[in-house]
Amino acid sequence: MKNSKVFLNNKFLNLSEAKISPLDRGFIFADGVYELIPFFQDKAFLLDKHLLRLNKNLSEMKIENIYSNDEWRSYINKLISYYDYTNFYVYIQVSRGAPKHEEEVLRQHHYYNEMEPTIFMYVSEINLLPEDKIRKGFSCVTLDDLRWGMCNIKSISLAYNALAKNYAKEREAFETVFVKKGIITEGSSSNIFIVKDNVFYTPQLNNYVLPGITRGYVIEEIKNLDYQIQEIDISIDLLEKADEAFLTNSTQFLVPISSLNKKIIGSGQAGKYSCELYEKFKKISRYS
């Protein structure tokens, strides 16, 4: 990534030339949102849905979206033209920007409506998890969900998610699953699904669950396959007794869960429904 091209406020620069003010509210207040758009076999996956979520999140945060969807697409296309990866993602971050006037320089929580957002994009390769590991499944741990109450917004305020991911790493687990008052919300960077008695379940959307783009896609795939799916409150007990469980997110698509807090889930490896959905993804990600 040393001298890779990045995008910063309408310019394509080498990473070392990209400079952002330390007074930027993204840095001072984590006042911004982000998106991560995956490309598999060089093709954007669900780009329109990602741009729609970005637009929605910016409007909820009252940050102006200064680009039309066509402008976003053209900047993204130009940025990726500097790279020759096959599977990769484009990270987009939009913060409220840096204060322009001296009187605003003092740290003030309120913002000025005329602030110019800081828009930053970079590209990174996606290293897909090897298929044999997917079939074995991955261990997870649980942690109290102590995040702020607007997790439905893809905010750059991810300190607790970072602590949670590290909590998993320290325990040699793949992911930390958040639990709020005995109910599963989501993973530190993923949504969660379970299968019980041939029915799929996933936590219903609320302010503690990000409406994952992969989650939405997987729900549609489950329906297309004529399986039942319900969006409900999933207790930790139900997760522990599930026949199968898996995580979804944009970079890995689907990751089967083999154990939770060292207790085996289902067969202790990827279940048949997880494998069926994963096969669909393999067609998108591994073969053109």
Q: Judged by CB under 6 A, does residue 252 bind ligand PMP?
A: no
Residue 5 sits in the site that holds ligand PMP (CB under 6 A): no
3-state secondary structure 55-124: HHHHHHCCCCCCCCHHHHHHHHHHHHCCCCCCCEEEEEEEECCCCCCHHHHCCCCCCCCCCCCEEEEEEE
Among 202, 250, 259, 269, binds ligand PMP (CB under 6 A): 250
Indicate the residue among 105 and 162 with the shorter CB distance to ligand PMP: 162
Lookup: tokens for 87: 């599977």
- How many residues touch ligand PMP (CB under 6 A)? 14
Residue 189 binds ligand PMP, judged by CB under 6 A? yes
Count the neighbouring beta carbons within 10 Å of the beta carbon of residue 250. Answer: 20
Is residue 65 within the footprint of ligand PMP (CB under 6 A)? no
In whole angstroms, the minimum distance from the beta carbon of 16 to ligand PMP comes to 27
Placement of tokens 């591994």 in the chain = 286
Counting contacts by CB under 6 A, is residue 118 touching ligand PMP?
no
Per CB under 6 A, 176 contacts ligand PMP: no
Alpha carbons 39 and 50: distance in angstroms, whole number = 12
Does position 186 interact with ligand PMP (CB under 6 A)? The reply is yes
* Contact flag: residue 248 with ligand PMP (CB under 6 A): yes
Q: Check binding of 180 to ligand PMP (CB under 6 A).
A: no
Stated as kind and residue range, the H or E segment containing 50 is helix 47-60
Distance CA 18, CA 223 (A): 45
In the set 43, 100, 154, 196, the catalytic residue is: 154
Residue nearest to ligand PMP according to CB distances in the complex: 212
- List the one residue from 57, 139, 249, 274 that touches ligand PMP (CB under 6 A): 249
Distance CA 197, CA 106 (A): 58
Radius of gyration of the chain (CA): 20
Q: Where along the sequence are the contacts to ligand PMP (CB under 6 A)?
A: 36, 161, 186, 189-191, 210, 212-215, 248-250
Report the catalytic residues: 154
